[in-house]
Amino acid sequence: MKIKKGNLNYDQSGRAYPDEPQIKENWDCIWEFEGKHYKLVGDDEHKEWEEVNMYNQIIDEVYKNFKNNFPIKKSNPPKDYINDNGQLLTQEEFINKIKIDIEFSEKWSLKIEEQELSMGERGELFRKTYPYNSVDDFAPGGMEVQSISHQLNTRYDRAKIPTKLITITYNNEKIEIYE
């Protein structure tokens, strides 16, 4: 899966097309635009941009490769392919193993790091997301006395500001996703 940065383009009829449309590869990749990822979907007459969840895209691709490389014919498959029940790792088990086992992670060219965001980092995201809104739009209701950190957390939660940064490195490409 190739990720390219570029613009979302449309002709007069509203038909979507990528930068440099004469290059076939540009139609078959995922485009990053303003911090979000998109792929082109639809038939040749009506292509549309659809937002893509890159975390799911990458995990699905790597897990599919993992399953396709499972040595079925071997009576003793490698330990890193099976769980405690002797079965192929589920996708969830595979992800957890990637997060904790460096050797396994390197084998599949996938690294997943999760970081809880600090109050300051959430505040920066809030200001970027709502640069013109009053913070009072997301203020906690009621008359109760609350600490400043509780008030800020309430505002950020109401504004759906993420609490975690997930960094995925796959085939030497780094993607940051907020959750």
The answer to whether residue 172 is domain-embedded is no
Mean pLDDT of the chain: 81
The answer to whether residue 170 is domain-embedded is no
The answer to whether residue 98 is domain-embedded is yes
In degrees rounded to 5, what are phi and psi of residue 13? Answer: -85, -5
How many domains does the structure of the chain reveal?
3
**Residue 165 pLDDT:** 92
Average pLDDT over residues 52-73: 84
The answer to whether residue 62 is domain-embedded is yes
Q: What percent of the chain has pLDDT over 70?
A: 83
Q: Are 158 and 96 in contact (CB under 8 A)?
A: no
Same domain, 25 and 63: no
**Residue 49 pLDDT:** 79
pLDDT bracket for residue 93 (50, 70, 90)? very high
Q: Are 49 and 27 in contact (CB under 8 A)?
A: no
Same domain, 94 and 65: yes
Same domain, 36 and 64: no
The pTM of the full predicted model, rounded to 2 decimals, is: 0.68
CA angle 140, 158, 178 (to 5 degrees): 140
- The boundaries of the domain holding residue 14 are 3-51
**Residue 40 pLDDT:** 79
**Residue 176 pLDDT:** 84
> Per-residue pLDDT tens for 2-51?
777 777 777 777 777 778 878 888 777 887 776 678 887 777 677 777 88
> Per-residue pLDDT tens for 110-146?
999 999 999 999 989 888 888 766 555 665 565 455 6
Q: At what angle do helices 148-158 and 119-129 cross, to 10 degrees?
A: 40
**Residue 90 pLDDT:** 93
Same domain, 65 and 100: yes
Same domain, 10 and 29: yes
Q: What percent of the chain has pLDDT over 90?
A: 27
**Residue 151 pLDDT:** 82
66 is written with which tokens?
Answer: 């993992």
The answer to whether residue 10 is domain-embedded is yes
**Residue 91 pLDDT:** 94
Which of 72, 70, 120, 79 has its CA nearest to residue 97? 79
The answer to whether residue 113 is domain-embedded is no
